[in-house]
């Protein structure tokens, strides 16, 4: 097993010759050795890969069955010293019946034999002509049969324990059934499923197979490794093109190429920790429903010769996990924006508010909130002037953001108010006897609270609803003034992290602003997208430019969002998150920089929970959310020492 809960697995598609067991086993052996040198711990081959799947009535020949066993026996001897397990397909004769089976082999021995449960009987497949179906029912427990000179567990309900996880096996048609055996396997503890298949190619079939496997992987919250027969199988009536896939909880990690004339080997690192974290939150995996077989045997496969070398991680780690990575990016962004819109629409209708009030700073967060308000009004067929946008310039307001705020509001046709807060803040400093030249937290927070007071009072005056503009990243870090911009009557961005805000504004610019009257809006939005993130609470320079940049103070939001995602979504430790960050941000951030901002993240996340404990309502958008009423319930006085000590240990390495 590789570091940090990752397990490298492989799916192999060897070249085969029909009924030539010696040739086929030689190809299998070569691929096993190759996979072992690359750190693979378990490799799976296609259905009946030792004989080839398309032998037809040759399966009735004793010579073929004996040759398969003899060559498997030789293969076991030649691979006994390798720290790799392999799964191969072989016809097994037992009690005068022939079974289409998978052999699970490890350190020179067959450790289990899993027969196929569901046999196809289509026009192109006549498996029932040659093989016996092995029905997995409650009365049947794994038995032992003799194979390759040893007594071996035989049955469908066998789990193989490799220390970090348990895996199970099903064969081809099994996953197409109404209740696949893998459903029972995962309910009984398997987190990895291997499928040996021999599925012929048909027009449109590949996408269906991928959808089927993806769904089963997601439904079972498991890793699913599928490999199907390829070049060399008989083409008398059908063609086998060699499809192999590795899925993790429904997500495709690796796939083979189609229509290849040579063998293929794909591999990837499955995150066992991730799968376990998903299951901890899903009570479906507690208990074993009676419809599944409960008589499981467990075979332990712990290596006596584990690999000493650590192999590099063989999978993509997305540096922006909150940004949709789908075939239809536009559709994903549209869904997110529509969730925000619907949440606000419901709150507006429920409260019978006459107006929507929000502060518009010319920054990204308030821009996204304003766009949501505008499109909500449009959908409810309300006039846009029922939206009251308020720009409230103060000591740190730059010319650029102020002008963008005014231009944006005017171009969108909403009601515009400008209320300068400078005089009010100066009076407040006099009232509390604060030196205006002392630019400390009091100086900054006074401005934020003054702005919130204005918005709340306007809401009372206009029978309105104050729309919050703060985002989820700010909530995570506590980068908001308590009872200032921290408070609103509905937070439309509460489920949107900072890294996603920019993408959504850009998406709206390109997809929702498509009329001639909104050309000015598009120009303004593009400049806002390019504007650095800043609270603008410290005085501007002599030319009216901002002097305060958020990411210089608390660190890059792309790092904080990365830490936030893996901490909350999967409960990963700082050490594992650091490992993933090194992989995701390689050649972008030095390791010392990653640890510096990770420490800032954990310190702020723990110390600022009190702000999240009383955060306003706001809709959940993705799988991570900080609402104290739903996804994240943490004591405000929880101690961060465990996490910070681990970061200190990482610094000393």
- Enzyme catalytic residues: 47, 116, 172
Q: Quote the tokens at residue 480.
A: 């908001």
DSSP 247-284: EETTEEEEEPPSS-SS-EEEEEEEEHHHHHHHHHT-GG
DSSP 293-315: ----EEEE---SS---SPPPP-S
Tell me how many degrees the CA angle 606-609-614 measures, rounded to the nearest 5: 180
Distance of alpha carbon 536 from its chain centroid, rounded? 35
Taking the C-alpha atoms of residue 579 and residue 492, their distance in angstroms, rounded to an integer, is 33
Contact 2, 313 (CB under 8 A): yes
CA-nearest of 469, 532, 505, 495 to 322 is 495
* Four-point Cα dihedral 91, 93, 96, 99, nearest 10: -40
Q: Quote the tokens at residue 286.
A: 């507690």
Per 3-state DSSP, what percentage of the chain is helix, strand, and coil (rounded to 5)?
40, 20, 40
Taking the C-alpha atoms of residue 559 and residue 321, their distance in angstroms, rounded to an integer, is 10
Between the CA of residue 350 and those of 338, 353, 382, 417, 497, what are the distances in Å?
Answer: 18, 8, 15, 26, 27
Sequence-distant (6+) residues with CB within 8 A of 168 are 114, 158, 159, 160, 181, 182, 185, 186, 190, 192, 193, 194
Taking the C-alpha atoms of residue 451 and residue 421, their distance in angstroms, rounded to an integer, is 7
Contact 91, 68 (CB under 8 A): yes
Taking the C-alpha atoms of residue 558 and residue 115, their distance in angstroms, rounded to an integer, is 49
Please name the helix (run of DSSP H) or strand (run of DSSP E) that holds residue 563, with its range, or none.
Answer: helix 557-570
């Amino acid at each position: 097993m590789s570091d940090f809960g990752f397990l490298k697995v492989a799916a192999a598609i060897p070249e085969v010759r029909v009924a030539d067991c010696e040739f086929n086993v030689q190809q299998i052996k070569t691929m096993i050795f190759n996979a072992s040198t690359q750190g693979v711990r378990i490799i799976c081959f296609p259905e009946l890969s030792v004989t080839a799947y398309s032998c037809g009535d040759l399966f009735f020949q004793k010579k073929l069955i004996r040759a398969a066993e003899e060559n498997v026996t030789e293969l076991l001897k030649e691979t006994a010293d390798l720290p790799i397990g392999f799964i191969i397909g072989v016809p097994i004769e037992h009690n005068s019946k022939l079974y289409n089976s998978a052999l699970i082999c490890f350190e020179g021995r067959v450790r289990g034999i899993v027969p196929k449960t569901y046999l196809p009987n289509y026009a192109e497949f006549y498996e029932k002509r040659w093989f016996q179906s092995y029905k997995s029912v409650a009365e049947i427990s794994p038995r032992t049969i003799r194979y390759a000179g040893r007594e071996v567990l035989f049955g469908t309900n066998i789990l193989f324990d490799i220390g970090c996880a348990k895996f199970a096996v099903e064969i081809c048609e099994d996953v197409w059934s109404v209740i696949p055996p893998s459903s029972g396997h995962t309910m009984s503890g398997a987190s990895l499923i291997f499928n040996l298949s021999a599925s012929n190619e048909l027009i449109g079939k590949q996408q269906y197979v991928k959808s089927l496997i993806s769904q089963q992987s997601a439904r079972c919250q498991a890793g699913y490794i599928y490999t199907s027969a390829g070049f060399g199988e008989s083409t008398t009536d059908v063609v086998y093109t060699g499809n192999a896939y590795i899925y993790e909880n429904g997500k495709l990690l690796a796939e083979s190429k189609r229509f290849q004339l040579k063998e293929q080997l794909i591999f990837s690192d499955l995150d066992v920790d991730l799968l376990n974290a998903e299951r901890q939150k899903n009570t479906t995996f507690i208990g074993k429903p009676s419809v599944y077989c409960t008589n499981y045997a467990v075979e332990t496969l712990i290596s006596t010769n584990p690999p000493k070398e650590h192999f590099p991680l063989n999978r993509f780690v997305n540096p922006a996990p909150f940004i949709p990575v789908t075939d239809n990016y536009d559709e994903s962004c549209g869904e997110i924006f529509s969730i925000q819109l619907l949440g606000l629409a419901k709150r507006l209708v429920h409260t019978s508010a006459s107006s929507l009030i929000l502060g518009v700073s010319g920054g990204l967060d308030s821009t996204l909130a304003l766009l949501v308000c505008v499109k909500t009004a449009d959908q409810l067929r309300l006039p846009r002037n029922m939206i009251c946008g308020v720009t409230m310039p103060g000591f740190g307001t730059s010319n650029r953001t102020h002008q963008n705020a005014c231009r944006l509001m005017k171009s969108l046709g909403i009601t515009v108010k400008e209320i300068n807060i400078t005089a009010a803040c100066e009076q407040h400093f006099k009232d509390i006897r604060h030196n205006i030249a002392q630019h400390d937290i009091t100086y900054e927070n006074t401005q934020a609270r003054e702005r919130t007071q204005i918005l709340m009072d306007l809401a009372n005056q206009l029978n309105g609803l104050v729309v919050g503009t703060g985002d989820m990243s700010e909530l995570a870090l506590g980068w908001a003034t308590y009872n200032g911009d921290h408070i609103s009557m509905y937070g439309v961005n509460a489920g949107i992290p900072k890294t996603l805000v920019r993408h959504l504004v850009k998406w709206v610019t390109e997809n929702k602003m498509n009329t001639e009257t909104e050309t000015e809006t598009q120009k303004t939005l593009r400049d806002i997208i390019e504007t650095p993130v800043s609270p603008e609470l410290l005085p501007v320079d002599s030319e009216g430019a901002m002097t305060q940049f958020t990411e210089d103070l608390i660190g890059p939001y792309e790092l904080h969002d990365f830490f936030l995602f893996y901490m909350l979504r999967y409960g990963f430790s700082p050490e594992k998150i650091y490992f993933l960050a090194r992989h995701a941000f390689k050649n972008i951030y030095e390791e010392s920089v990653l640890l510096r901002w990770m420490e800032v993240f954990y310190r702020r996340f723990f110390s600022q929970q009190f702000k999240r404990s009383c955060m306003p309502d706001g809709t959940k958008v993705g799988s991570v959310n900080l609402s104290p009423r739903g996804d994240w319930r943490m004591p405000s006085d929880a101690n961060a020492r465990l996490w910070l000590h681990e970061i200190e240990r990482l610094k000393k390495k």
